[in-house]
Structure 1
Amino acid sequence: MKKIVLSAIFGSLLSGSAHAQLSESLNVKEFKLSNGLSVWLNEDHSQPKIFGAVVVKAGSKDCPNTGIAHYFEHMMFKGTDKIGTINYSEEKILLDSIAQKYDELAITKDEAKRKQIQKEINELSIRSSKYVIPNEYDRLISKYGGSRLNAGTSYDCTIYHNEFSPQYINQWAELNSERLMNPVFRLFQSELETVYEEKNMYNDMMGYQALEKVAERFFTPHPYAFPIVGSTENLKNPQLSEMRKFFEKYYVSGNMGLILSGDFKAEEVLPVLEKTFSRIRKGDAPKRDIVPLPPFSGVEEFKIKVPIPIVKALVLGWRGVPANHEDEVALRIAMGILNNDNSTGYLDKLAVDGKIMESKALNLSMNEAGVVGVLTVPKLLFQSYSGAKKLVMHEIDRVKKGDFSDEVFNSLKLEQKRNYIKNLENIDSRAQKMLSLFSEGKSWTDYLNEVKKIDDLTKDDIVKIANKYFTDNYLQVKKKTGNYPKNNLKKPGFAPIIPQNSESKSDFAKEMEQIKTLDAHPRFLDFKNDAKVIQVAPKVVLYAASNPQNDIFTLNIEYGKGTLESKLLSPMATYLNLLGTDSSSFDQFRARLQNLGSTLSFAAEQNKFSVEVSGFDKNFQATVELVADFFNHAKAEPKKMKQVVDEAKLRVKAIKRSPDELANALLDKVRYGDKSEYLNRLSVSEIKKLKGQDLISEFNSIQKVECNIHYCGNIATETVVDQINKNLGVEKVNVPSQTPVCREEKEYKEQTVYFIDDPKSSQSIIGGYIRGGVNNNSSERYQSALFNSYFGGSMSSVLFQQIREFRSLAYRVRATYKLPPYKYSDKNGQLVAILSTQCDKTTDAMGILDSLIKQMPETAERIEIARQDVVNRANNEYPSLRERSLKISFLIKEGYTSDPNKDIIANVSNLDIKDLVNFYNQNVKDRTITYVVVGNSKKIDMTKLSSFGKIIKVKSKDVFK
């Protein structure tokens, strides 16, 4: 069975203000393999890569509160009866015994007996590990062109995905179909401990537990009420036998989909997929009984705890629509009247006018239920919940009464169309849309037809929808300051499970070496031809690129000055996004943009200040003229400075309550001292002293700084240049850029541990820093790329295997040797490591990290995979059409004259273990390590921690402003 959906359908459906011409890359061909597996193929030759994914319509709702769907996803990386083993028949005897022990554990309540069973599982796992080839699946992905390997579990589905070089399509299909046929649950005990670490990480995220409580209250009795990861109690009692039943029920051909988008020919790929993926077990999608949600009865009140004082938060939640519901498109427009891209919505206006601090419409559609809601943050200190709610409900009532103009309605339809089109314009975003559509039970045609649904909507439709869903029956959630107890698990005390065959190959891996590799056609950035480069003024360069995909333009102006040079830029970006002009209020100015289908936003980063504009080509001139009006006549509004101050206050409160942010701030201070980006910013008290005109003056100054302008669209380059010259004041640009700014790294003479005590955290965040050597030649840059892959930058790296895979001491662990910009050949590099672990494992994890940094294991066999990983990343990094000129200008600023990926690929293949060890010896070995730790001192062995260096206790207020 085959169904071909042509892009012409989509083009013919667009009407009104947007007649987008869409390219052939939007064709999606839908097939069924002989076993009933759905296949969606999308050819796009704009980038030399393929995004490949398998979608399984099975998620946490299918195993409520057990976590099976999630930890099954983890186990899918452990291999099969053919992948990841040197002798499966012998290994299976031990694995069967382990599975039996887990069944026994699940029904055992006596704690002493449970510990004995777990000890026996540990002993069996160690014995079975002598047959295991760890990470073989990951290594094979890397060997055959893969990068960005990952997976994810949601309420409704599980998705496995990566991108790969097109010449390896045969190997990718063989490997990923084999993966789904007979997965083996090896190394389960250590992986389950990693899942505990993941759960701890989520629990430490500010507000995560509160969201779980809201979901439980809103969705009960539906399985969406339970967390995806599962409860701590259920995670303590896993059963491999139940996981096997889950696989047999849901991992069948009729319940799965294969998604490919990228550089291939469908007619050539389909026979390959039939040969490989048709081997997957045939079966129909299981029938599901959807649990109905009862309507709310009046206003049902609920309170949650969030550990931020002073700040209030109010959530109003109504029953919404599931995905694929006939009201979905109309409801999206209704929500756009409340919040939209141009901040012209009724709730946006409340925040912009300072009547409340923030208010956002929420619209979430899962496969079996939906949420429509509003999240509101009242003004700090003095605004009551009832006062804020009254304002919000008034705006919702306006929508219900039809109190919005035809102009607003039509502009929102235009905005929706623009967003639909942009979702389809490159491989990554289109593939993500394909994944979500398939998992929701929609077809590609359904998505394309949604544009016609937008066109057909009337104002009356929106009013009916608003009244249908915004009823008097809803859940009202109020925040109070506090913390939920955390179900922390003590470290198990098991012996680490360390397989003995890290460098071995399975028979399957040897057989894969016989599969034919197609011809490679890599692409690299062409600094001269991927974009026209035009010097429109002495210090203004235009990069112009054509857009063959659609008729949406983007215009990005990047001024060569960032937050490392000016502390005013960050609050200035916030402020500018709230302003109008001398002749137009904020509402009027943004409405004019929205009526054109255009957007304007400002952003400040370390090394640039960006102005981002988008819209339809036909309205390019009108849009640029509006932007010019803002540039020349932005009007300061003193009252809106309070919103800038309030945002800064919220930022500070959020950092205080986030272990990750505290660790990042502490690590940045250790690396750069007073030049830390967290310290090199204005404090709340300093922002309070600013006047709006101060920020307008800074905006006028930034417009004089050397800049690059990036246009991507279909307007003739001459016209673009003419509009820039007429409107954007390029003649006044006369200040040379000093970016990229290279901060001086701090050097330490003795090993030290900087420590922030965080009594509420479940995990410790551990960072390590070494000031490396001066890397002033190209060969060291190739060596650093190889070192990163080998040591700490991939799933096959030394750190990942030794800390996560073998010892379960972290969910996330990574180390990167960071180089200064290419032009700064006299500057030092630096090694930066980061990991998170349960607090009582802190010193264990640090011990392994410390030993690996001080004495890197040297394994010649591992080099091949590390080399290929570097090559894959370089091959798969060729940017999408809107990103090409941005990447080119970034590389030129760094000091390059051509794409460095081309040189990396040409040179990395010549490096061997001696080159790697030499780089390590020169830049890492025997250099002083400085550690940072953010964690709960009561759960950390502080005496043992002091063995890693003198402990210097730091207060959180000293690492950020």
Structure 2
Amino acid sequence: MRLRIILASIVLTMASTAIAKDYHYTTVKGDPMQARIYTLDNGLKVYLSVNTEKPRIQTYIAVRTGSRNDPAETTGLAHYLEHLMFKGTTHFGSSNLQKEAPLLDSIQNRFEIYRKITDAAKRKAYYHQIDSISQVAAKYNIPNEYDKLMASIGSEGSNAYTSNDVTCYVEDIPANEVDNWAKVQGDRFQNMVIRGFHTELEAVYEEYNISLSNDGEKEYDALNAIIFPKHPYGTQTTIGTQEHLKNPSILNIKNYFKRYYVPNNIAICMAGDMNPDEVIATIDKYFGDWKKSDNLSRPEYAPVKNLTAAVDSTVTGLEAENLMLGWKANKASDLQCDTLDVIKSILYNGQAGMFDLNLNQNMKVQYAGAWFENLNDYSEFLLQGGPKEGQKLEDVRALMLEQIEKLKKGEFSDDLIPSVINNMKLSYYTSLQNNKDRANKFVESFINGIDWKNQVDRLDRISKLTKKDIVDFANKFFGNNYACVYKRIGEDKNQKKIDKPQITAIPTNRDKSSQFLRDITSSEVKPIQPKFIDYKKDLTFGKTSKGLPIIMKQNAEDKLFNLQMRYEFGNEADVRYSHAANYLDLLGTDKISAEQVKQQFYKLACNFGINVNGKTITVSLSGLAENMPQAVALAENVLKNAKVDNTAWKNYVAMVLKNREDTKKEQRSNFTAAKAYGMYGTYNSVRNDLTADQLKNTNPANMLALIKKLSNYKHTVLYYGPATEKQLNNLITKEHKTATKLADVPVNKPYMEQQTPKNEILLAPYDAKNIYMTMYHNEGKKFNPAEAPVAAVFNEYFGGGMNTVVFQELREARGLAYSASAYYYNMPIKNHTQYGTTFIISQNDKMMDCIRVFNEIIDTIPQNEANFNLAKQSLQKQLASMRVTKMNIINSYLNAKEKGLDYDINRRIYNALPSVTLKDIVDYEKQNMASKPYRYIILGDEKNLNMNALEKIAPIKRISTKDIFGY
């Protein structure tokens, strides 16, 4: 009997060995990412890179299609489909697929009729039919099941994006959840079902509304229309036209899905803590049977001709004037792109490029920049600039083109190209620390058809470029073959108001779930053991020879460093310091010019700057550790020996005042200012600044004196890098000169959150098709660490993401917004108070609906035990797989200290999670948010708002643009 068992075991082992699949992969010698590239039998590409810093994996599923392939009669289709991919499949998202299917077919057919109706009354009547049938179909719909699936495995950052050539689906998952993730994604990409269509249309349209106020997008689209006149890059946008958005075709979307969503047109890109052999087997298990397309193709277009002369165009809008220039380049896989990327940094790198030094440093323009965008069919080299007060856009254009001519003549420093290449290397190796950046490199390679060896060899190739190579190339590439778009201030006549459709809210069906969700939620995986920070063990605390406190973490992983001098005061104590720091950036010393300072830091591949916020001032240096001693010496030289330049101060003040006026024209900036006013009153971070007269009458020598005396205040040395404590001490002692006895820092006068004893409405003006709104409540409660676990689960359940009550009710059920959220800020810093907020961007005529729904779900929080357990499970898995590393350990300690803690609060939350109940979070919400007075902070156009309905909530206080900005 025993012999038979042994023989049977041998046979089974041999059989298992015989059927084990050998997955072939390719690698590239010298690849720092050690990427493995697989191609499954059905053509599916899989890119894997191992990074064990934390037990998580960044995943991208990239489809090689985007708005370039949209049918001309239904632009925006690729982006629509991206949204619909979150609606479920034949296995999840529905409680009864058989009963739901004919209703979905009916909705599809009716949309084909609706999109061709032109009479407004008939359209409204017919849309009512669609809405009615959608109500019946919605009985079987289980909204947000995809989000619940991802929450159940502890995924973070669930999202997707669509561009010209790509549609990409994004998840950041715990390392032990690969099987569940692959099971969901395999089903999603093979069995997608379009449901919840008409409410999702409204969410997409709200996204379109947001874009209407972004003049930069309009400017870019107008530029592409000139450069690519008969190619989709120029003839259609990713978001689509207003007409097409309101007349969609489900049939076209399905046909598009069948054509492009096939394995031989898709890549799975993953980077993180994994066993590649196990991961590829898992992917094959769930994607391997997916049938490839034998007829894969895409629309092809005639070659786009080069411009033979400069072509100008103009767009209008409320935001500040600027202009954009663009040249057509070869496709992304062409090696020409290497050279253009280097040229981009020669012109503009934020420190020592030709634009940086010759235009921005000398303040000849408000700003000037360059960037390079590589696309599948063609690429673009782009310039953008803004005018100073009284300067014409044409003058800015001339100044930027003048720098192009200097480039063509080789009139730039011989050190610039080697410095650019060194900084590109620094950027590349820094990016390898991040799983997102690694996976993004895979996406770019796949979508643009770039051989991975070319990606790996790129730094070597550009290192061989000489000044002559650059100059010769520039003379061939840059001519009068460019497009120019002027962005001028004025009314955009192309914006048209569309009334909100009469949508009946679909049920959220919180009590329903698919078997698929239940299986994933209850699946058992080997748990990840959490690792929380122990500040005493994970950080080194010491003092320099002169008594300066040191907080450091040694970096044994790479050759990068981050050194900071931190002062415990900021703008709340003296707002002059932010201007003094900015002024220093424009100055040289008694021996080297301002331009030379920038050039030397850039040559060292190090960044130097002073950051001033409300509570702290930080003098920072970072970059290549081997150059840290020289960088510290240079920084100290600048700090001690900077030379006053009266002209630079005068020009700086003019730039500040112009920037203030430009900021007042931006919708988001207005909302930021209105929110600060509504939460903090007239003394807040936006309004607390020097007046125009104060700036003009300031002696710049006094500003510089503030910086020169800074090191005589008490401060702390923060360091992350390869140096030992002794080496750091020796360097700081040698280079960092301080007073013998350090003075106490000035005392901050903190911005304090206001309480909301009664309902109030603050209305700030902005002429747009949508409103920005937050509801703010504060009753003066202080931080109680014991409440942190319940608060964390509440935010995960109620309003902190897509799998929440707020998102389901305002977007999924009613299509009121592109995004909506609510949050209770329960962990303020010492001496500050907790508060709750909501946030939404919505169409003007949906404002009262948004307010009504927010109040309903706040006052009576919808309760569902299964969703609560899911939120708790998601949070538990996120915390277990979270790792705080590098400089973030020091930042975590400082943040905890600001809250009065000496331990990692996440440990307390994690340990308490099992005992948190649904009743706990319902009680918590009732105590802190429900039936409370709120301050409604609204940014919108009063002419298009329902003011009568708004006044029934509370008296309206109108606050002007000057009120919220203070100028």
What is the TM-score of this pair, normalised by structure 2? 0.93
Q: How does 1:201-600 map to 2 (within 5 A)?
A: 201-225=210-234, 226-283=236-293, 285-308=296-319, 312-346=321-355, 348-381=357-390, 383-485=391-493, 486-499=495-508, 501-513=509-521, 515-536=523-544, 540-600=548-608
Q: CA deviation at 1:802?
A: 1.0
Q: Report if aligned partners of 2:153, 2:521 keep a CA contact under 8 Å in 1.
A: no
Alignment of 1:471-870 (within 5 A): 471-485=479-493, 486-499=495-508, 501-513=509-521, 515-536=523-544, 540-729=548-737, 734-736=742-744, 743-758=751-766, 760-772=767-779, 774-821=781-828, 823-824=830-831, 827-870=832-875
Alignment CA distance shift 1:2-1:69 (3 Å)? same
In structure 1, which of residues 883, 899, 902 is the aligned counterpart of residue 904 of structure 2?
899
227-236 vs 911-920, greater mean Cα deviation: 911-920
- The answer to whether structure 1 residue 5 and structure 2 residue 14 are counterparts is no
Using the TM superposition, give the Cα deviation of residue 643 of structure 1 relative to its aligned residue in structure 2, in angstroms: 4.2
CA contact (8 A) 1:679 1:960 kept: yes
Partners of 1:798 and 1:733 lie apart in 2 by 56
Cα distance, 1:306–1:659 mapped onto 2, change above 3 Å: closer
Q: Larger deviation: 133-142 or 202-211?
A: 202-211
CA positional deviation for 1:638: 1.8
* Shift in alpha-carbon separation, 1:735–1:949, aligned structure 2, 3 A: farther
Shift of residue 876, structure 1, vs aligned partner: 4.7
* Distance in 2 separating the partners of 1:406 and 1:956: 48
C-alpha distance in 2, partners of 1:377/1:220? 26
Tell me which amino acid in the other structure corresponds to 1:107: K
How many angstroms does 1:768 deviate by?
A: 0.5
> Are the aligned partners of 1:348 and 1:360 in contact in 2 as well (CA < 8 Å)?
no
State the Cα deviation string for residues 780-832 of structure 1 (Å, max 9, x = none): 122221221222111121111111110111112111111343544xx431001
Counterpart AA for 2:239: V
Matched AA of 2:538 = D
Instruction: Encode CA deviations 1:335-387: one digit per residue, 9 max, x unaligned.
Output: 22221242342453222123333221232222212222322223321x34454
Q: Deviations over 1:376-406 (max 9, x none)?
A: 223321x344544443333211211222343
Q: 5+ residue gaps in structure 2?
A: 1-22
Which of 952, 958, 961 is the equivalent residue of 2:963? 958
Asked if the contact 2:663/2:669 (under 8 Å) is kept, the reply is yes
CA displacement, residues 572-608 of structure 1 (integer Å, 9 cap, x when unaligned): 3322222222211111222222222222223222332
Q: What is the Cα deviation at residue 100 of structure 1? A: 0.7
- Letter aligned with residue 305 of structure 1: T
2:145 to 131, 136, 143: 136
Unaligned 5+ segments in structure 1 are 11-21
Tell me the TM-score normalised to structure 1 length.
0.93
- Cα shift readout 1:851-873 (whole Å, capped 9, x = no counterpart): 22223223333211221233344
Contact 1:300 1:475 in 2 (8 A): yes
Instruction: Within 5 Å, give how 1:927-942 maps onto structure 2.
Output: 927-942=932-947
Identity across matched positions, percent: 26
Q: 1:414 to 1:876 in 2, by over 3 A?
A: same
* Structure 2 residue aligned with 1:14: none
Superposed CA deviations along residues 7-44 of structure 1, whole A, max 9, x for unmatched, are: x615xxxxxxxxxxx6xxx2211112232211111111
**Structure 1 residue 509: Cα displacement:** 1.6
Deviation at 1:886, TM superposition (A): 2.5
Question: Match of 1:140, SS?
Answer: helix
Aligned-partner Cα distance in 2 for 1:526–1:148 = 27
Which amino acid in structure 2 is aligned with residue 147 of structure 1?
Answer: E
Q: In 2, Cα distance between the equivalents of 1:213 and 1:461?
A: 32
Indicate if the aligned counterparts of 1:773 and 1:922 stay in contact, CA closer than 8 A.
no
Instruction: Report how far residue 189 of structure 1 moved.
Output: 0.3
Q: Corresponding residue for 1:18?
A: none
* Residue matched to 1:34: 41
Cα deviation code 1:529-552 (max 9, x no counterpart): 434333337874333334344323
Cα displacement (A) at 1:288: 4.7
Aligned pairs (5 A) from 1:38-53 = 38-53=45-60
Match of 1:159 among 160, 168, 184: 168
Residue aligned with 2:693, SS: helix
Q: Per the alignment, in what secondary structure is the counterpart of residue 372 of structure 2?
A: strand
Cα separation, 1, equivalents of 2:398 and 2:517: 65
Aligned with 1:342: secondary structure? coil
Please tell me the residue identity of whatever aligns with 1:330. T
Distance 1:646 1:497 in 2: 54
1:911 Cα offset (Å): 0.7
**Hey, what's the Cα distance between the residues in 2 that align with 1:95 and 1:386?**
55
Equivalent-residue separation in structure 1 for 2:425 and 2:393 (angstroms): 36
Matched residue type, 1:137 = Y
In 2, are the aligned partners of 1:378 and 1:388 still within 8 Å (CA)? yes
Change (3 A) 1:321 1:735: farther
Alpha-carbon distance change, 476 to 502 in structure 1, aligned in 2, over 3 angstroms: same
Q: Per the alignment, in what secondary structure is the counterpart of residue 854 of structure 2?
A: helix
Q: CA deviation at 1:746?
A: 1.7
RMSD of aligned Cα (Å): 2.3
CA distance in 2, matches of 1:477, 1:642: 30
**AA aligned opposite 2:286:** T
The separation in 1 between residues aligned to 2:935 and 2:811, in whole angstroms, is: 22
Pick aligned residue for 1:80 from 74, 89, 92: 89
Q: Which moved more, 1:863-872 or 1:131-140?
A: 863-872
Retained in 1: the 8 A contact 2:355–2:368? no
Q: Is the 8 A contact 1:66 1:230 kept in 2?
A: yes
Q: How many angstroms does 1:453 deviate by?
A: 0.4
**More displaced 10-residue stretch of structure 1: 602-611 or 218-227:** 602-611
Task: Give the distance between the partners of 1:344 and 1:655, measured in 2 at CA.
Answer: 26
Cα distance in 1 between the residues matched to 2:828 and 2:626: 39
8 Å contact kept, 2:321–2:387: yes
- 2:528/2:880 contact within 8 Å kept: no
State the SS of the aligned residue for 1:883. Answer: helix
Contact residue 539 and residue 707 of structure 1 kept, 8 A: no
Measure, in 2, the Cα distance between the counterparts of 1:496 and 1:122.
9
In structure 2, C-alpha distance between the alignment counterparts of 1:169 and 1:681, rounded to whole Å: 51
